[in-house]
Amino acid sequence: MAERTAELSALATRLEGEVAERRAAEEHLRQAQAGLVQAGKMAALGQMSAALSHEFNQPLAATRNFADNALVLLDRGRTDEARGSIARILGMIDRMTAISRTLRSFARKPGQKLAAVDLAEAVAGASEIAGLALRTAGAELVVSLPPGLPPVVAGPVRLQQVLVNLLTNAADAVEGAADRRIHLDAVATGAGVRITVRDHGPGVAPALAERIFDPFFSTKEVGKGLGLGLSISYNIIKDFGGTLTVGAAAGGGAVFTVELRSAEAGSEAA
Ligand code: ADP
């Protein structure tokens, strides 16, 4: 009996020791994780600051140059040319305004309301807004939405913003291409709806596929693309609990796929 008691008390001591050890390990892990989150935030902030100062410095330097020029031209009475310089300054200011307006979309309030959104309505709104870009590129939008699609979990304005972005990118991609059709399709999947926007442009090279969702990544000429559309779209869809991916379409061109959750009772997660 005494032996058994001693055995039990030894076991209890050992267990206590193990519990204390595990607690210490957990605390250590928690601290390490907090450190990583902090490091990640600093890295993101650093990346953002570098990108921002790059984006603003170039138009700022150019603006200064044109303003200097305008002064010299005015002193010499060459008002017409001075007017040209001032017009370019205005162009630069517009560009900086566009950048700062787009940046505001990054200041998303987490937990913004999500609703049950009718995809057909979102598509109709988006194709209207993207209409000018589509016509300018000579693109033909072919929409195919099967009847009976369930409503999706989204914010109506933000979903439209994503679709407009995908459509205008596709319009840019097919400009000057032989086949300028852009296909917007949707199908019901088990848990939600899959939307694809497919074009017949040059496509996205596999090496670039990862980077196109990065802020300020753009292959378009200065003044045409800010490189923010896809990174904003990616985050919006993530907020909806969905995914946005890019792939190569069979037969050439890019295909962007948006997966959204169904808002119908039973299929909605959280
Ligand atoms: P922007 O359109 O301002 O360049 P985005 O973030 O919308 O910024 O797109 C980033 C880049 O992704 C584009 O510059 C382009 O290189 C590539 N891209 C986007 N859509 C397409 C597409 N449909 N076909 C080919 N490349 C595309």
Tens digits of per-residue pLDDT, 244-254?
999 999 999 99
Of all protein residues, the one whose alpha carbon is nearest to atom 13 of ligand 1 is 218
Q: How far is the CA of 215 from the centre of ligand 1 (A)?
A: 11
SS (H, E, C) 60-119: HHHHHHHHHHHHHHHHCCCHHHHHHHHHHHHHHHHHHHHHHHHHHCCCCCCCCCCEEECH
Does domain 111-261 sit in CATH 3.90.1150.10? no
- Identify the pLDDT of residue 115: 92
Return the residue whose CA atom lies nearest to atom 26 of ligand 1: 204
Residues with CB under 6 A from ligand 1: 165, 169-170, 173, 199, 201-204, 212, 217-220, 225-231, 254
What is the structure's pLDDT at 269?
Answer: 44
Q: How confident is the model at residue 264, as a pLDDT?
A: 87
Q: Model confidence over 72-125: pLDDT tens digits? A: 999 999 999 999 999 999 988 887 887 777 677 666 555 678 999 999 999 998
Strand, coil or helix: what is 200?
coil
List, as one string, the DSSP characters of 3-65: HHHHHHHHHHHHHHHHHHHHHHHHHHHHHHHHHHHHHHHHHHHHHHHHHHHHHHHHHHHHHHH
**What is the model's pLDDT at position 267?**
53
Which residues in the chain come in under a pLDDT of 50?
268-270
Structure tokens at 90: 């205005």
Ligand 1 centre to CA of 110 (Å) is 26
> Ligand 1, atom 19: nearest CA belongs to which residue?
169
* Ligand 1 pocket mutation pick from 105, 162, 166, 169 by most atoms within 8 angstroms of CB: 169
